[in-house]
Amino acid sequence: MSNVPTPHINAKEGDFAKTVLMPGDPLRAKYIAETYLKDCRQITDVRNMLGFTGTYQGKEISVMGGGMGMPSIGIYSHELFNFYGVDNIIRIGSAGSMSPKCHVRDVVIAEGACTNSSWQNQYHLNGNFAPIASWELLSKAVRAADAQNKHYVVGNVLSSDPFYDADPNANEPWKNMEVLCVEMEAAALYMEAARSKKNALAILTISDDTLTGEALSSEERQVSFHEMMEIALDLA
């Protein structure tokens, strides 16, 4: 008996390309599909988490929303990797800078993803797992960014469970360890990829700066995120 459709994705077998771009927002997935992909078709819409497949520069590629937080991206990435034959998932999303190396609108390519989450506890490891990106995707992303003459920073990020943390100084120890920025999904994605023997990468755009207070409006985010999208699309 086929494992698809799954409880969270109603696509048919073969609907997804081997590479999936995964923004958090399903409407951003729709925007990417309509803006960049040719012969695009919608393949899933469970809970309005929209997914699409088309071609970019002659290569098949899919894009699908992943939601907010590690539990959400954990569900979708697990089902894509294990039931739909997807080999590569590239998270494309926003992050808050907590380093003077990263400024608003900069692109961050996440080499590793620290976390304050208990996500790894399910694996019963005798220690702490270090969630890292796929070297294949990371190196391709750096080459694509260089070829497109894009400004980017490569380094460690923080995947945080709380968005509104009760501790106003929660990020200070991470800043002291040279962590570049904070987001909410990459660590779970990297761990799901390791568990599934697949590839994952997070490419982020700095949408706000926790050091200066500068932040992009929703309209500015729509324009500024194109550089991140174009790097990711080249990885298909």
Contact 69, 160 (CB under 8 A): no
State the catalytic residue, choosing from 25, 161, 208, 234. 208
Retrieve residue 111's tokens: 């080499």
**Cα-Cα-Cα-Cα dihedral sign, residues 176, 178, 183, 188:** negative
Contact 46, 87 (CB under 8 A): no
d(CA 101, CA 87): 32
Active site residue 106: no
d(CA 171, CA 165): 9
Retrieve residue 205's tokens: 């755009």
Longest dimension (CA), the chain: 55
Contact 209, 97 (CB under 8 A): yes
Which residues are catalytic, by number?
Answer: 208
